[in-house]
Amino acid sequence: MKKKIIIIVSFLAVIILLHSTPSMALRTYVFFLGYPKAAITSGIIEDKEHNEVDKDRFAELNAKAYALTNPPIEKATQTELRNYLVRKFGFLHFAEYLGNT
């Protein structure tokens, strides 16, 4: 019983750590997309253009747009996976791909 509790608490601690900041959430998302090198080495900047254009929508979603400075290239379409939306739920952040527009 004690071993199960330790495993569950450890798992929850890792989840909280990986989603504690917008940049960590974005790096985690890109890592699990299958691009670990880009997740570790790419810089993250706030995407001012998307944040300004979609300001009202992002305010409703409690989200901000971010861009990778050295984005990975998707093999199937040869497009850069540059722009991401990071939403905040409570104290946790979750990322999703926004697109290249």
The pLDDT tens digits of the residues spanning 21-32 come to 999 999 999 999
Q: Report whether pLDDT(55) > 80.
A: yes
Please check the confidence at residue 9 and state whether its pLDDT lies above 80: yes
45-72: string of b/e by CB count within 10 Å (b at 16+)? eebeebbeebeeebeeeebbbbbbeebb
Q: How confident is the model at residue 101 (pLDDT cuts 50, 70, 90)?
A: low
Angle at 94 between CA 58 and CA 72, to 5 degrees: 95
* pLDDT above 90 (res 100): no
* pLDDT score, position 37: 93
